Structure 1
Amino acid sequence: MIRALRAEWTKLRSVRSTAFALFALVAVTLLLTVVTAKGSVTSYDGPLTRDQFTFAHTPVTGNTTLTTRVASLTSKSGWAKAGLMIKDGTTGGSPSASLMLTPGHGVRMQVNAKTELTADTPSGQPRWLRLTRTGQSVTGYESADGLSWHKVGTLAVPGLPARTEAGLFVTSPAISVAKQVSPGSVTAHLQLTTGRAVFDHTTPAPATAWTRTDTTSPPAAHPLPNDEKRPAGTLQQTASTVTLTGNGDLGYIGIGGVGDDLDEADQVKETQSAIQLSLITVVALGVLFMTSEYKTRTIRTTFTASPKRGRVLAAKAAILGATVFAVALPTTIAAFLIARPIMTKNGYKPPIFPTTSLTDPTTLRAVVGGAAFLAVLAVFCLGVGAMFRRTVPAIVTIFALLIVVPIISQITSVSVNTWVERATPIAGRALTQTKTLTETSIGPWAGFAVLCLYAAAALGAAHWRLTRRDA
């Protein structure tokens, strides 16, 4: 096998089109990356801080300790929040300290909606919470049973007066719902959600009854969609429980999940978008690596020197795939590093758009996935070339499958386009995505698996033909 690999590596280097195709792969990818990045522009002029919730409160003066058990919290949003709060009045934007449970992100503590701590212990429902004020600082605790308490942290609360409003709160942010309205066109809209929290074992309880207030964020020059449509919260209280419903959000963009509904762009995939056109060079390289030997009739010499044709095909696939991956990987990394500063300059920057880095596992998977996609695609093209044995029919067939069919599907219907994106080799591009915008999109590894199945099928069919027909 080593001998076969060495022979195929020598052939790949000797084919005149190899160097041109690999150079074109690098040049086309990087050039299109710059063009695409310069064309990616975004802006946001809405509020950065959200202070919206339903508040069941009572006046408190000086130091105090609040304790409650969040018996249940339900919402469509994993960033719904329910817990304890001490606040300067009930006006949105005033100094406050809160300790909260979220359905999907554990127990968290916030001060003035801009400073956040996260509990380092497992969380679930029900959950006990305790918030203690001492002067201008607050300390949060959480517990699974109300007996063994774990400290979340202590934070200073600048501007918190001696007389405050303290009590229970619930809020639930809008969620972004993406819908494919036409082939190749995805729109997103914000859908209001309502959080429902049940509290019990709350101490100290108010002397009479809780007062409910729907706190609203300070007026913004450009409010968010649906802000004016927020329904009023509700308060139900019995001798032992308090049930609150409410909606909105609490925190600063980048804290407490605030802003997640705004960042719909898949920034990493954008940096790899040039692959869609640079794959043309990979198609040519993969097909020619096989068909050039048939055109020059050197394939007979190859099979004479290596009678085991399956081994020859495997060696060709290994050398081709490894070579394309070795060239494509630094290219996709360079594309990412080139595109990110340009996109940041064009508005893709914190706090709305988090900084992406190659140290992030998901980002690294997407960037390396771009190179893996091209490598496996090259192997697929090799198999098709071995089946057709002629360059033009093989390339026409592959282009029809990778380019023509997707274009046609985009002018037909959503269902047809979805089927094409899931069931053709182009599904392998999903490995470069870090977000799944709609339920019809295919996942990264599932899409890559589809491409691998195509490559395996093409090699299998090529092996069958090579072993049953003369060269």
Structure 2
Amino acid sequence: MTLPETRDRDRDRDRDRDRAGAGPASPPAARDGFPQLLHAEWTKLRTVPRWGLTLLGGIALTVLISFFSAAGSSVEIADQDRPPVPAGREGQQLVDSVGFAHRALHGDGSITARVSGPAGVEPEQAPEWAKAGLLIRESLTPGADYAALMVTAGHGVRMQSEFARDVPGSAAASPDTPHWLRLTRTGSTVTGYESADGEEWSEVGTVRLADAPEELSVGLFVGSPDITRMERAFGNVTVGQLGSSATADFDEVSIEGGVTARDWRHTDIGGVSPSAGDPGEFRRSGSVFTLTGSGDIGPAPTDTDLAATALNGSQLGLVLIAAVGVLFITAEYRRGMIRTTFTAGPRRGRVLAAKAVVIGAVAFAAGLVAALVSFLLAMPVLRDNGHVPPMFPELALGDAAVLRAVLGTGLLLALIAVLALGLGALTRSTAVSITAVVVVFVLPLILVSTLPLELSQWLQRLTPMAGFAVQQTLPRYGHVERLCLPENACYPQGPWTGLTTLLLYTAAVLALAAWRLRKRDA
């Protein structure tokens, strides 16, 4: 067929198409639907062997560092001559050593008193959680269940029970002004009331004692927790405990119900606190009772987070996983393949989103495997090195906090990989992007152990390293002073708050990268 004949045939075909309303022929549309983009990016990732090997290297590095970190963490077993540490229902370590002036209460009844204090014993001031008030206990044995209503030195009226439960009352109550307190027992239920004048009462809270016997110990108590002193410089931390004592006056004391003992008895629950030195003191002058005591009643959380120690390797394993995130886009720029990618998918923002989904999903899977294997290998080593109850909790993979830490580590590494992808899209340089990841994540993790504590906690809150807070599993008690040190993997914010901070950084970098892709030639 000659060229003029070919042109005539094409012209006739177009004329017939126009008559049919189909319009002129157009080139086939690009296959840039999001599922097609996801498939294309997944194909790229799985067909580059060295990227898969790098991910495996990240898993192996995470597991090895976690294992060696656990192997290097050991504690000395307590001397057999020391008194046993009271343990809670779940095996956790407790502190139960307050001064207690008490009588026996048979059946239902109540105790009422006007409390003045607590005040520090000269020359020391009372710590904020020094407390004085009313106490009902199942027995005088350390660790026994109780209900306590108190005035604190710095936190107003509180009702505490089960060592971990703390219910706030009047925040305006001051130890400098006498305040009325009342505890009422009905069966196994104890209710606390407070009053500013002894006339109008308001309920603070209700406690149900687990195994309340018919006869309980009821009375007045004073406690003053140890004061923590810390010296921290260039990674060296020295922590010491300084014992403290507090005193309080009680008047208008009355007990209603079946009181079986006429005289008051004084007991230092748990014996005399070694840090306090002197035993408590109980005096009575007419209708006024003066009680001096030390120690505390509540949980005694350890400073070492075993789950965070078992997942410690993720702090270095992230570098290799982030490297895959960077290479996932910079390799295409280096080889000029990015033009082909954008030709197949002209909407560059969708291409970047597809890459983020693929690398995020793969990094999450790799991070989850690394976290799971690290925890399962490191925990037996930690137990063999002395990290056992009651000083340390018995952690299992099925625990809610542990499960959150393991899954959170997978999410953490996924977000880091996506952030690294965004950095790669912004800089188009593998070396610059990986260096940025190291500066943003690894360097702050090193610096926080050497900088002043306030600056270290500022870095933990406001930089992308905040995401590591998701690995924390130690419970936090608002009524217990705890020294939160970066060296102990303690973050000032909650787990999900820290991970959200990293998520916001990742979203911002990815959005900036998408904007720049649209404004800049491939």
Same fold (TM over 0.5): yes
TM-fit CA distance, 1:308: 0.1
Residue 203 (structure 1) aligns with:
256
**Deviations for 1:371-422, whole angstroms, at most 9, x for unmatched residues?**
1111100011000101111212222232233334554565554454344333
Which one of 183, 190, 194 corresponds to residue 142 of structure 1?
190
1:390 aligns with 2:447: no
**Deviations for 1:228-251, whole angstroms, at most 9, x for unmatched residues?**
156x34556775x8674533356x
Quick check: 264-273 or 204-213, which moved more? Answer: 204-213
Gap runs ≥5 in structure 1: 109-115, 132-138, 251-255
Residue 303 (structure 1) aligns with:
342
Q: Tell me the secondary structure at the aligned position of residue 347 of structure 1.
A: coil
Change (3 A) 1:78 1:347: farther
Equivalent-residue separation in structure 2 for 1:178 and 1:289 (angstroms): 49
8 A Cα contact 1:38 1:346, kept in partner: yes
TM-fit CA distance, 1:9: 0.8
Which one of 266, 269, 273 corresponds to residue 213 of structure 1?
266
Which one of 293, 300, 303 corresponds to residue 264 of structure 1?
303
1:83 aligns with 2:131: no
Which residue type is aligned with residue 48 of structure 1?
A: P
TM-fit CA distance, 1:286: 0.9
Gap runs ≥5 in structure 2: 1-33, 87-95, 119-126, 151-157, 171-180, 194-200, 477-482
Which residue type is aligned with residue 68 of structure 1?
A: I
Residue 226 (structure 1) aligns with:
275
Q: Tell me the secondary structure at the aligned position of residue 473 of structure 2.
A: coil
Q: Tell me the secondary structure at the aligned position of residue 209 of structure 2.
A: strand
Residue 53 (structure 1) aligns with:
98
8 A Cα contact 2:325 2:421, kept in partner: yes
Which residue type is aligned with residue 256 of structure 2?
A: T
Which residue type is aligned with residue 520 of structure 2?
A: R
TM-fit CA distance, 1:355: 0.8
Quick check: 332-341 or 431-440, which moved more? Answer: 431-440
TM-fit CA distance, 1:128: 2.7
Equivalent-residue separation in structure 2 for 1:80 and 1:355 (angstroms): 33
Which one of 384, 409, 414 corresponds to residue 345 of structure 1?
384
Change (3 A) 1:205 1:278: same
Equivalent-residue separation in structure 1 for 2:138 and 2:447 (angstroms): 59
TM-fit CA distance, 1:82: 4.1
Change (3 A) 1:245 1:225: closer
Aligned residues: 427
Residue 74 (structure 2) aligns with:
41
1:172 aligns with 2:223: yes
Residue 253 (structure 1) aligns with:
none
1:331 aligns with 2:352: no
1:438 aligns with 2:484: yes
**Deviations for 1:311-360, whole angstroms, at most 9, x for unmatched residues?**
00011011111111012113212211221111111111112212122333
Residue 21 (structure 1) aligns with:
54
TM-fit CA distance, 1:3: 1.1
Equivalent-residue separation in structure 2 for 1:309 and 1:276 (angstroms): 32
After TM superposition, list the pairs within 5 Å mapping 1:287-436 onto structure 2. 287-404=326-443, 406-407=445-446, 411=450, 413-435=452-474
Equivalent-residue separation in structure 1 for 2:229 and 2:471 (angstroms): 19
Q: Tell me the secondary structure at the aligned position of residue 273 of structure 1.
A: coil
Change (3 A) 1:229 1:308: farther
Equivalent-residue separation in structure 2 for 1:309 and 1:76 (angstroms): 57
TM-fit CA distance, 1:27: 1.0
Quick check: 365-374 or 180-189, which moved more? Answer: 180-189
8 A Cα contact 1:76 1:193, kept in partner: no
TM-score of the pair, normalised by structure 2: 0.68
Q: Tell me the secondary structure at the aligned position of residue 128 of structure 1.
A: strand
Change (3 A) 1:470 1:166: closer
8 A Cα contact 2:138 2:213, kept in partner: no
**Deviations for 1:228-276, whole angstroms, at most 9, x for unmatched residues?**
156x34556775x8674533356xxxxx63xx15x21111111111111
**Deviations for 1:142-200, whole angstroms, at most 9, x for unmatched residues?**
24589xx997355679xx9xxxx965242536357485723555554435464869684
TM-fit CA distance, 1:423: 3.0
Equivalent-residue separation in structure 2 for 1:212 and 1:144 (angstroms): 23
8 A Cα contact 2:316 2:442, kept in partner: no
**Deviations for 1:286-312, whole angstroms, at most 9, x for unmatched residues?**
110110111121111100000000000
Which residue type is aligned with residue 135 of structure 2?
A: G
Greater Rg over alpha carbons, structure: 2
Residue 7 (structure 1) aligns with:
40
Identical aligned pairs, as a percentage?
30
Which residue type is aligned with residue 226 of structure 1?
A: S
8 A Cα contact 1:171 1:194, kept in partner: yes
8 A Cα contact 1:421 1:442, kept in partner: yes
1:190 aligns with 2:237: no
Equivalent-residue separation in structure 1 for 2:464 and 2:452 (angstroms): 19
TM-score of the pair, normalised by structure 1: 0.75
Equivalent-residue separation in structure 1 for 2:113 and 2:496 (angstroms): 38
